């Protein structure tokens, strides 16, 4: 069986709109879930929206 790479969940900083790759968290030996970073590496803010929800996000 061929290996299928996981899709990384991306997050957008609500303040400066910089995109970040989610931090991988091991769920079991073969799978991960991805969480938003603790803070934005660009501006230091802590509010993020999943990239998949960004177009529907309103302040």
For 1-59, write each residue's pLDDT tens digit.
456 677 899 999 999 999 999 999 888 777 888 999 999 999 999 999 999 998 887 65
Burial 10-46 (b: 16+ CB within 10 A, else e): bbbbeeeeeebebeeeeeeeeeeebebeeebeeeeee
pLDDT for position 58: 67
Give the C-alpha separation, 13 to 45, whole Å. 7
Per-residue confidence (pLDDT) for residue 28, from 0 to 100: 78
């Amino acid at each position: 069986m061929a290996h299928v790479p996981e899709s990384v969940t991306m997050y957008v900083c609500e303040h400066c709109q910089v995109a970040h790759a989610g931090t991988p968290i091991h769920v079991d030996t073969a799978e991960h879930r991805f969480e938003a970073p603790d803070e934005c590496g660009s501006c230091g803010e802590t509010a993020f929206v999943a990239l998949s929800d960004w177009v529907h996000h309103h302040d």
